[in-house]
Amino acid sequence: MSIIDHGTWVAYKPEMAVEGAPENALFLRRESDGVDWYRYTRTGNNFRPDTVKLVLEQREGETVIRTTAVEVGRLFPIGGHVVEIDTLKRRQDEGALLDEFVNRIFDLKTAKVGALQVWKQQPDILARLSKLEEAMKGLSK
């Protein structure tokens, strides 16, 4: 499995208003060279049509897959690193891609997908949720 690296994408505000864009529009540019995400994805030759694209992010010192898609227009990688896996092709059930890849550790050097990454905060979140549910029960009586 090999990857095509499309870089890390960050939010920015254009110097001049973009005609036709709503006031609250979000814009992304590649960190390395400032290329605009919309222009980059619309040229038609930067992404292959039937490959799997991943948005990666850093969590607790690990590179983790945030989301995946075949159609690049389904991605908005704000603060994420975009890679394309050239050996993974479109499937009928794209939802299965989410189940297979999202929240898994990813090695950029080897293009290997690793174990499911569970946030260390999860036990704290579950404890807080239990307390909230108990408090809500008390209010409904």
Q: What's the token pair of residue 99?
A: 């189940």
Domain span holding position 63: 3-139
Q: What's the token pair of residue 31?
A: 């960190």
> What does the pLDDT look like over 6-58, one tens digit per residue?
999 999 998 887 888 888 889 999 999 999 999 999 988 999 988 889 999 99
Q: Is the pLDDT of residue 140 over 90?
A: no
Report pLDDT for 40: 95
Amino acid, res. 49: P
Distance CA 60, CA 42 (A): 33
Q: Based on the structure, what is the number of domains in the chain?
A: 1
Report pLDDT for 96: 73
Instruction: Decide which of 136 and 1 is more confident.
Output: 136
> What does the pLDDT look like over 114-134, one tens digit per residue?
766 555 545 566 677 777 887
Q: What is the DSSP string of 80-124?
A: EEEEEEEEEE--S-THHHHHHHTTEEEETTTTEEEEE---TTHHH
Distance CA 81, CA 31 (A): 10
Distance CA 89, CA 2 (A): 12
> What does the pLDDT look like over 55-103, one tens digit per residue?
999 988 889 989 888 889 999 999 999 999 887 777 656 677 777 777 7
Report pLDDT for 21: 85
Mean pLDDT of 1-10: 89
